[in-house]
Chain A
């Protein structure tokens, strides 16, 4: 993407509000600059009055100036508020869109990318993108607006002097621009040496034992000292550059004063301008000059942030999980098989994560309605994959899964998942209250239904004993609860969903005996009116099943 397209896309996030946003920047910058103009005009009025001795006019015009300045500031404030709110709104829109996308990626994406890494990277990119709305873009265009606002009154006051001063400024800007490249190169070199210095220190500490037992330590110190001196030498060039720039700034400052004096005195003598105008121009000139030198200064930063925005947009362009893996989905009524076939059946299913490691080939597995089946087998054989295929987290590569007469190939992922209540091995709880965690099972459930589900899951008792009962926050990843408690809440969640199939992935594998008993009791009461598939390790859980399906 070119920078311009990227910029346009960044702005498009705001939709029509973009116009409000841009107008706010205009008024904000102009208002701010107008205040400075008023400051200078006030100075002019006082000086003119001092020269002419006219104090009556002065009072009126000074009050006028103060009112003008106040209005400028109020305009600035109104625009700044709109600007900041719009910028934040843009960030919020982007954050919402991003979240919408983040939870809809194909499941394989989460498995392949370490979620922490992706998140922290994207969070950083988001931060920098929001900085475009919040500051970078404004900083880039604001000097231009302000310079324009300053230069107009200056030209009116005395175009001759103004042109001379602008001329000197252009020269200064050119010198600055010329210096940017060598200075940046030098800075790069310096930071490279600095990284080395830091690295040496780190080595010295990390390899402390070796450093002291062998000559490595002394050697590292020697290298450090060499680099340190090298850094000092490299820095000499920087001293030269910054010294040159500073001397130019000081010199031109004086030179401008010279031009100012000569022309000013000349023009006053010739009657082109007044002493007050001269004072006003001089004070405006200082502000003009500082903004003028900022022209283009923030452009590299803006471009840098746009590169981060690009990462965000690229992430947003990642393909999401489709509504259905095969074709349209949605149609569910063409029952392919007759009703006497099993309730759920996997027919000749083939699946693997990578070509060279076949996992399932022409695999068959079926469950009758109301039946409880325990799936057993050694770890790593694909049991968990089985549950993920049932949940349609991946498409099968060959064969089909039939659920109550419907082929997975005709169902949408949403439809499939609505039929299954899943209890994963690691019962993840979100950092909300107990009640909300259970409610995830069915978001429109009433509080009574939630309590009912918790009772069935043997969780009601302990929940009531918590500090705030059902409103107790479970902490990050549910860490305020024990493993058994978490698991029972996960089961309550599954019960609340009231789906035809209960699918459990080693639900008791990480529990102590007592919790296991409680969980198993909950399971017992459920299996009577549900079809249950449980992937199981523990004998006590396996014993609950009507049938054992061992997995090879």
Chain B
């Protein structure tokens, strides 16, 4: 079920919003302290100018209090902002991780897991920036601007109106100018890329380049591009620096205007000199806070896009799951009744498939690639659901099963073994987390991998390295068999266990598989027919249908597809 309206990010943010509110209150206090301090300066200057005497002791005490408040408020303001950010992040990341575990398998067909990972990691980082920087900054700058503006308004309402008119106009001009500079930057990038392209081209064709002695010819091309880059740079910086100084000058104008206006107010007597000084100082603060708001908003908008992408994942449907945790006593471990399946609409991978695999028996699927063998496993594991027909596991329809409980009944040894970047020991232990060390070693012995592991310098504590690259295919395969041993589940699923390994390894794996499948229901997908000769029931799949089924001998007698396949393999 999708949740289109839900916004998890806002929910998380809302949950920890008290921290944000504390931050904003403290920002308000800080800004007020600054305003108060400056007002005191202004007042004392006025006292002095009017010939009065400034009482230092009084002010020192007053200022020390303000300073102390500033220290404390500064600390807690920063702490509250950080706390807010980290709390939300932690919760949000937790949601994401749990979602990835439960997300429907289909999602990754459409998006590709590598893209999902890359996007997700960078998006999470951007979301963190939004929380760390954008939200607290924007909040603080808005509060600051308001406090300063209110103060100016109290001093003189006309000053406030002038101030509020000048800066938005300025912002508008700045924005227009900025767009132009960004455009120039893009062209510059293209020119720089040309240097890279020439180099790449020359290096890839180095054999031709060298055998024809064309070094100088290419150097000429390179020199031309490099010189063009310098020429263009001159054009670019002429414009961008002109823009820069014009902007700098324009930004200054409101200051002059406001200061001159304040001056006329003083001349008219509606503002004191001290107040004018305070105004000029607060004006500086106001500009600082006010001008950064639009820039922060632009940044924030980019981050919000990233958050939106994560939100889309969070809104995706979970794997469907029932509630039942046990099967119903039944003869069949797995039974398919008229099951059809399609990954994309209109292209049936499985077509009206029916078969029954009794408890304790063994079965195998053979046939060329694209016949639908792996899809059957995907359905049995519940990664995908049949488009029509039904599938029962231990007598109970799969939709009624609690997905985790159903999977606890199965041990899968898949074709592409993924080993987690951890020790061998841990990788085997994933089969059953409460297993003892003895049990783990026993499982490895059964999987014919114990001796190999003991031969490694660090034994069971060897790190398998990212994606298991340090181990060969056969070794990884056997580690995953050991994992299956440890799990000791009643239903065993083996996906081409001996493909892509050499003959001695194949033998080892075959031994392990034979041992593992004892007293279990076992389903095998196989490329090499040698793996399946002893199986009770072999099913030949082609174009999503079962074309033949029976034991090895029966099928040979029949002289159909299987017999032909067998003949071919014998030839080799």
Contacts and interface: CB of A to CB of B under 8 A. Distances in A.
A283 B284 contact: yes
Nearest to A251: B71
Contacts of A420: 211
A209 interface: yes
A522 B437 CA distance: 72
A206 B113 CA distance: 7
Contacts of A43: 259, 280
Given A431-B197, A443-B217, A417 B211 contact: yes
Contact of A53 (B82, B89, B267, B431): B267
A80 interface: yes
Interface string B43-65: 01100110000101001100110
Nearest to A78: B241
A243 B78 contact: yes
Contacts of A51: 49, 273
Interface string B173-213: 00000000000000000000001111111111111111111
A417 B212 contact: yes
A288 B418 CA distance: 58
B245 A77 contact: yes
Consensus secondary structure, chain B interface? helix
A447 to B, nearest CB: 16
B74 interface: yes
B312 interface: no
B248 interface: yes
Interface string A277-303: 011001100100000000000000000
Contact of B63 (A258, A275, A476): A258
Interface string B77-107: 1110011001101100110111011000100
B203 A85 contact: no
Interface stretch (A165-173, A261-269, A369-377): A261-269
B249 A253 contact: no
Contact of B41 (A55, A76, A239, A261): A261
A261 B44 contact: yes
Contact of B210 (A95, A246, A393): A393
A254 B208 contact: no
A319 interface: no
B75 interface: yes
A213 B381 contact: yes
B234 interface: yes
A258 B101 contact: no
Interface stretch (A149-157, A227-235, A355-363, A540-548): A227-235
B14 to A, nearest CB: 19
A77 B241 contact: yes
Nearest to A94: B226
A42 interface: yes
A273 to B, nearest CB: 12
A527 interface: no
A205 B417 CA distance: 14
A89 B231 CA distance: 9
A235 B480 CA distance: 38
Contacts of A422: 208, 211-212
A231 B277 CA distance: 47
Given A92-B226, A255-B67, A414-B213, A206 B467 contact: yes
B40 interface: yes
B53 to A, nearest CB: 9
B41 A268 contact: no
B226 A95 contact: yes
Interface in A236-256: 238-240, 242-251, 253-255
Contacts of B227: 92
A203 interface: yes
A441 B212 contact: yes
B217 A428 contact: no
Contacts of B211: 391, 393, 417, 420, 422, 424
B70 A251 contact: yes
A228 B124 CA distance: 13
Interface stretch (B296-304, B335-343, B407-415, B554-562): B407-415
User: A interface, how many residues as a size bin?
Assistant: 35 or more
A275 B430 contact: no
Interface in B257-311: 259-260, 262-263, 266-267, 273, 276-277, 280-281, 284
Contact of B33 (A62, A205, A254, A278): A254
Contacts of A307: none
Given A255-B67, A261-B44, A110 B203 contact: yes
Interface in B389-415: 407, 410-412, 414
A211 B70 CA distance: 52
A460 interface: no
B245 A258 contact: no
A246 B105 CA distance: 47
20 contacts: A47-B277, A50-B262, A80-B241, A103-B215, A201-B100, A203-B421, A205-B108, A209-B381, A210-B430, A213-B407, A216-B420, A218-B101, A235-B82, A242-B82, A251-B67, A254-B33, A428-B207, A431-B197, A443-B216, A493-B208
Given A214-B412, A262-B56, 16 more contacts: A50-B263, A50-B267, A92-B227, A95-B195, A103-B209, A205-B100, A207-B420, A208-B108, A214-B483, A215-B430, A220-B420, A232-B86, A232-B90, A235-B86, A242-B78, A255-B67
In the A-B complex, the 6 residue pairs with the smallest Cβ-Cβ separation, listed nearest first, are A250-B74, A207-B418, A247-B74, A247-B75, A92-B226, A428-B205
Interface of B: 30, 33-34, 37-38, 40-41, 44-45, 48-49, 54, 56, 59-60, 63-64, 66-67, 70-79, 82-83, 86-87, 89-90, 93-94, 96-98, 100-101, 105, 108, 113, 116-117, 120-121, 124, 195-219, 222-223, 226-227, 229-230, 233-234, 236-238, 241-242, 244-245, 248-249, 252, 255-256, 259-260, 262-263, 266-267, 273, 276-277, 280-281, 284, 381, 383, 407, 410-412, 414, 417-421, 430-433, 467, 480, 483, 487
